[in-house]
Amino acid sequence: MSALAERWNLDEQRFFWMYGDKKPAPERVAYDEKTGLWSVHGYSEALHVLNNPQLFSSETGRLIPERSEFDEGTITQLDPPRHTALRKLVSHAFTPGAISELEPRIHAIVEDLLAKVDGQKSFDLVAEFAYPLPITVITELLGVPVSDHALINGWVDKMLSGTTEFSLLERDDLDSEIVDVMDQARHLTDYLRGLAKERRISPRDDLITRLVEAEVDGERLTENEIANFANAMLVAGHVTTTLLIGSTVLCLDAYPEADRAVRADRALVPTLLEESLRYFAPIASMVRVTNSEVELCGATIGPDQMVGVWIPTANRDERVFTDPHTFDPAREPNPHLAFGRGVHFCIGAAMARRESRIAMNALFDRFPELRSDPHDTPTFMTSPNLNGVTRLPVIVG
């Protein structure tokens, strides 16, 4: 059992990979009769799925027709060549040069947020720092007015608050949850559609305008495509960074020797973040659908089968990672899969890394001591597909 799991008594079924040093490793590829999904736990097997979109499609919505209205233009639900064309439309915003230009703004947001808790002995690290930092950056990039940030935050929070494990076989609870999530998504896409209409009339220097003005294969994007594309960017553009910052603080709290090591040598901050991504990956699984019958690690998977790649277990594959259940902030190499691989490798990975690096250094600079409040338990994500905390009370010194 990991120190992190033991400290917060993490649910053994939900966080089974946190107990891997006490249990046999799961099968590298296995069929789950409860959910009707194939689970991929092995590292090389996960790479094979993620690197072969012609075999394992990202268009998972074809098995969930009730959510089809949100698939048009959603970059995470597309395969090449359409995916490649849409990705190019916003890739300029996430180049190393573009991120470097944003760095002064990221520093300013960080300092502003920390100034608001200056003098306090305790505060909620997520609500007052880890959440507002990345969502402010992505909403500004998209062109969402500051006055609407709270509105956006509310919809996004409700979209990510699911509790039911996905299943193709037992749908009652899931269907109810999908309806709730779609209601929130509809509010957000309606809002973004309205923003796109405004940009057609009054263009600005933002990503919404770029999507409005773009052409793919000689055609403009529909307002539905723009809204769904922006929706996906908005959600993905903040959730990983929010969870990464919170989880990194959780890990340092559970492993004080790591905290001391990084504070003594700030050059370890980048590798600390990579180890946090490996050890407590923000995204639990990445789902694909088979286009035809495939063989994977001796298993025959038929066409139109849903395949879930389990990132936390792939990140603990002993064939790749030495002492995989040890949290090591100096671990190198560290080829974790937290940001995926292949054509769908997270377009905002460099942004998330830069934001988190700036955030952690600022926390170290500002607080000689930063630890969780032993009398106020953190609140962990309820969505089975996300790992991290939605609330993290900390004591500072």
pLDDT digit string, tens, across residues 250-266: 999 999 999 999 999 99
Which pLDDT value is given to residue 167? 58
Q: Structurally, how many domains does the chain consist of?
A: 1
SS3 294: strand
Phi then psi for residue 226, to 5 deg, are -60, -45
Sign of CA dihedral 203, 350, 145, 113: negative
Most confident of 144-153, 235-244, 321-330: 321-330
Which pLDDT value is given to residue 163? 60
| Residue 213 forms part of a structural domain | yes
| Residue 288 forms part of a structural domain | yes
Q: Which of 311, 347, 292 is nearest to 54 (CA)?
A: 292
- Across 359-364, average pLDDT: 98
| Residue 350 forms part of a structural domain | yes
Which pLDDT value is given to residue 177? 62
Decide if 231 contacts 189 (C-beta within 8 A): yes
pLDDT tens digits, residue range 169-210?
A: 665 555 566 677 777 788 889 999 999 999 999 999 999 999
Which pLDDT value is given to residue 151? 87
| Residue 291 forms part of a structural domain | yes
Q: Is the pLDDT assigned to residue 237 strictly greater than 70? A: yes
Count Cβ atoms below 10 Å from residue 109 Cβ, excluding itself: 21
Residues 6+ apart with CB under 8 A from 253: 7, 259, 370, 371, 372
Count Cβ atoms below 10 Å from residue 89 Cβ, excluding itself: 18
Which pLDDT value is given to residue 20? 78
Residues of the domain holding 19: 3-60+71-368+381-396
| Residue 119 forms part of a structural domain | yes
CA 14-388-280 angle, 5° bins: 75
What percentage of the chain has pLDDT greater than the value 90? 70
Distances 250 to 258, 264, 275, 293 between C-alpha atoms, Å: 11, 18, 13, 42
| Residue 66 forms part of a structural domain | no
SS3 392: coil
User: Comparing 43 with 162, which gets the higher pLDDT?
Assistant: 43
Decide if 156 contacts 236 (C-beta within 8 A): no
**Mean confidence (pLDDT) of the chain:** 91
Which pLDDT value is given to residue 179? 72
The CATH number covering residue 362 comes to 1.10.630.10
Q: How confident is the model at residue 66 (pLDDT cuts 50, 70, 90)?
A: low
Q: How far apart are CA 310 and CA 391, in angstroms?
A: 24
Which pLDDT value is given to residue 224? 86
Q: Is the pLDDT assigned to residue 349 strictly greater than 60? A: yes
Count Cβ atoms below 10 Å from residue 216 Cβ, excluding itself: 16
| Residue 12 forms part of a structural domain | yes
The least confident of 20-24, 127-131, 316-320 is 20-24
pLDDT tens digits, residue range 366-397?
A: 999 999 999 999 999 988 889 999 999 999 98
Can the peptide bond before residue 81 be classed as cis, meaning omega within 30 degrees of 0? Answer: yes
Which pLDDT value is given to residue 29? 98
Residues 6+ apart with CB under 8 A from 186: none
Long-range contacts from 294-300, C-beta under 8 angstroms, 24+ separation: 294/55, 294/56, 296/29, 296/40, 296/45, 296/48, 296/49, 297/28, 297/29, 297/42, 297/45, 298/29, 299/29, 299/30, 299/31, 299/38
| Residue 373 forms part of a structural domain | no
Which pLDDT value is given to residue 172? 56
* Joined tokens for residue 191: 């809002």
User: Comparing 22 with 113, which gets the higher pLDDT?
Assistant: 113
Which pLDDT value is given to residue 1? 56
| Surface-to-core class of residue 347, CB atoms within 10 Å of its CB (0-12 exposed, 13-18 middle, 19+ buried) | middle
pLDDT tens digits, residue range 271-330?
A: 999 999 999 999 999 999 999 999 999 999 999 999 999 999 999 999 999 999 999 999
Q: Is the pLDDT assigned to residue 149 strictly greater than 60? A: yes
pTM metric for this prediction: 0.93
User: Comparing 227 with 339, which gets the higher pLDDT?
Assistant: 339
Q: Is the pLDDT assigned to residue 49 strictly greater than 70? A: yes
User: Comparing 96 with 149, which gets the higher pLDDT?
Assistant: 96
- Across 136-148, average pLDDT: 92
Decide if 261 contacts 254 (C-beta within 8 A): no
